[in-house]
Amino acid sequence: MQTLDNIIGGKAVRSASARTAPVFNPATGEQAAVLPLSTAAELDAAVQVAKAAWPAWAEMPPLRRAKFMFAFKALLDANQKKIAEAISAEHGKTHADALGELQRGIEVVDFCCGIPHLLKGEFSRHVGPGIDTHSDRQPLGVVAGITPFNFPAMVPMWMYPVAIACGNTFILKPSERDPSTSMIVAELFREAGFPDGVLNVVHGDKEVVDAILTHPDIKAVSFVGSTPIAEYVYRTGTAHGKRVQALGGAKNHMIIMPDADIEKAADALMGAGYGSAGERCMAISVAVPIGEETANKLVESLAPRVRALKIGPATDPEAEMGPLVTKQHMEKVLGYIDAGVKEGADLVVDGRGFKLQGYEGGYYVGGTLFDRVTPDMSIYKEEIFGPVLSVVRSPNYAHAVKLINDHEYGNGTAIFTRDGDAARSFADQIEVGMVGINVPIPVPVAYHSFGGWKRSLFGDHAIYGPEGVHFYTRLKTVTARWPDGIKSGAVFTFPSTH
């Protein structure tokens, strides 16, 4: 059975840790690999390598750094099938979905090829007598990323390409559940010609996470995961003097106005609610139809679609949804469905008990649809992260907006309507970081930035795009005057332009 190594200084390094974690194929339930859980000392070894590599990398002209990014992007483009197969094998998502994830990650790498333009700063001549001022953005040093299981290619690419293009060196701690994708991509990174030590991959669990958050030589940490862990990462990292951007959980609502095209809204909800088995922080997990008539039409349209979902392994080209990532997560999702029934929601389509012939050991849950869910229920309040869609009936638009604004999460949201006034009002009033108007999953493109509000994001900067550049750099401003412009004699008043 394969044992996965760390990547430190451009080389595969076997962890000496006695602790290991199994890596499973969620479609079959069979173990596929063994992952040693690295120690704090092994994390420190990676940091020292990255620290040694940083000065030369930071001093390299940004355009030269960008050339490595162009080479890396070309290798990613050429190896999409191989990477997508690795994603599907350990995560379970369909091959088409894995390719889509990878493409969105590659778009961030593409953006990073143009980062020199965003590093150039500003210049003002003659701000005072013979005085000029200029500013630029400089890298931080060694930075780190802790990434989740649900996007093993895309989310790491939200982090390390931006950080590295800005002149930092990077430590990546991928999820223990699907680590192989990071190994394949790290090999392509090395093949692109990047100097050894610029990108390092260290596998592990909480021991490595805590070592990252407390290490004195790591200047910044990026994290994507659940809200409780995001808050822990933010508080621990900032307490140790680090910049931290920690993206947490979500409970994304979609309002369906009475004037919306119900069939198109239902199609959108199917993809947004059940794509990747609901294991997306931008999944729509709450549908909010306005008025009883709209709600009845929506549920009538959704129910047969949910029952007809094609569920199977990634090797089935007709599969629309695959298994959940682990047996433990499958049991958690099934527990939420049980809780919804107990709390009095109307279970329209029950995904419990789904079995696939030939894949009885896989971690499958069928598409599940609840109606008449209320805000006091756990299936409404908490992030399920599974193929469970809740319909919360709302009497009017104002009530629906308040429902969303009152929720502790503020990651993504959407409205389906033909009314421009309603759409504009929604975009202005809603207290959510990413808004879709007739777009169910409004994930920003690479040259914008991704980030929620409220307890969906801890820290001052969103991820990737211009916000990512600002996170991984710090501003330096230089004010200069040369001897011919300096008058004789000491000046004791505060400097001014006069």
**Residue 369: inside a domain:** yes
Question: Three-state DSSP class for 127?
Answer: strand
Q: Where do the H-state alpha helices sit in 241-291? A: 262-274
**Does 145 lie in the same domain as 71?**
yes
**Does 53 lie in the same domain as 93?**
yes
Q: Which residues contact 20 (CB under 8 A, 6 or more apart)?
A: 34, 35, 36, 37
Give residue 423's identity as a one-letter amino acid code: A
**Residue 489: inside a domain:** no
What pLDDT does residue 298 have?
Answer: 98
**Does 259 lie in the same domain as 158?**
no
Contact 115, 165 (CB under 8 A): yes
**Residue 260: inside a domain:** yes
**Residue 446: inside a domain:** no
How many CB atoms are located within 10 Å of the residue 243 CB? 19
Structure tokens at 191: 């093949």
Which residues make beta-bridge pairs with 255? 288, 415
CATH number at residue 142: 3.40.605.10
**Residue 496: inside a domain:** no
Structure tokens at 97: 């979905």
Give the strand pairing for 243-247 and 457-458.
antiparallel
**Does 426 lie in the same domain as 293?**
yes
Average pLDDT, the chain: 96
Q: Determine the straight-line distance between the first and last CA of the chain, rounded to whole angstroms.
A: 74
**Does 269 lie in the same domain as 242?**
no
Give residue 412's identity as a one-letter amino acid code: G
What pLDDT does residue 497 have?
Answer: 60
Q: Where do the H-state alpha helices sit in 193-326? A: 206-214, 227-239, 262-274, 292-307
Separation between Cα atoms, residue 191 and residue 187, nearest integer Å: 6
Query: Any idea which residue has 């006069």 for tokens?
Result: 498
Separation between Cα atoms, residue 25 and residue 150, nearest integer Å: 14
Give residue 126's identity as a one-letter amino acid code: H
**Does 291 lie in the same domain as 431?**
yes
Separation between Cα atoms, residue 77 and residue 73, nearest integer Å: 6
Domain carrying residue 346? 252-437
**Residue 50: inside a domain:** yes
Separation between Cα atoms, residue 305 and residue 423, nearest integer Å: 27
**Does 270 lie in the same domain as 190?**
no
**Does 189 lie in the same domain as 64?**
yes
Phi, psi torsion values for 115, nearest 5 degrees: -60, -30
Burial of 447 (C-beta count, 10 Å sphere; 0-12/13-18/19+): middle
Question: Three-state DSSP class for 131?
Answer: strand
Separation between Cα atoms, residue 37 and residue 34, nearest integer Å: 10
**Does 101 lie in the same domain as 19?**
yes
CATH number at residue 324: 3.40.309.10
**Residue 175: inside a domain:** yes
Separation between Cα atoms, residue 279 and residue 439, nearest integer Å: 18
**Does 312 lie in the same domain as 197?**
no
Query: What letters, b where the CB count within 10 A reaches 16 and e where it falls short, cover 206-231?
Result: ebbbbbbbebeebbbbbbbbebebbe
Q: Catalytic amino acids?
A: 281
Per-residue pLDDT of the chain in tens (498 residues, 90 and over written 9): 899 999 999 999 999 999 999 999 999 999 999 999 999 999 999 999 999 999 999 999 999 999 999 999 999 999 999 999 999 999 999 999 999 999 999 999 999 999 999 999 899 999 988 899 999 999 999 999 999 999 999 999 999 999 999 999 999 999 999 999 999 999 999 999 999 999 999 999 999 999 999 999 999 999 999 999 999 999 999 999 999 999 999 999 999 999 999 999 999 999 999 999 999 999 999 999 999 999 999 999 999 999 999 999 999 999 999 999 999 999 999 999 999 999 999 999 999 999 999 999 999 999 999 999 999 999 999 999 999 999 999 999 999 999 999 999 999 999 999 999 999 999 999 999 999 999 999 999 999 999 999 999 999 999 999 999 999 999 999 999 987 766 777 767 666 665
What pLDDT does residue 488 have?
Answer: 72
Separation between Cα atoms, residue 53 and residue 200, nearest integer Å: 11
Which residue, 309, 461, 316, 292, is CA-closest to 388? Answer: 309
Q: How many domains does the chain fold into?
A: 2
**Does 114 lie in the same domain as 86?**
yes
Separation between Cα atoms, residue 90 and residue 314, nearest integer Å: 10
What pLDDT does residue 484 have?
Answer: 72
Separation between Cα atoms, residue 44 and residue 39, nearest integer Å: 9
Separation between Cα atoms, residue 319 and residue 487, nearest integer Å: 78
Which residue, 222, 252, 303, is CA-closest to 415? Answer: 252
**Does 401 lie in the same domain as 311?**
yes
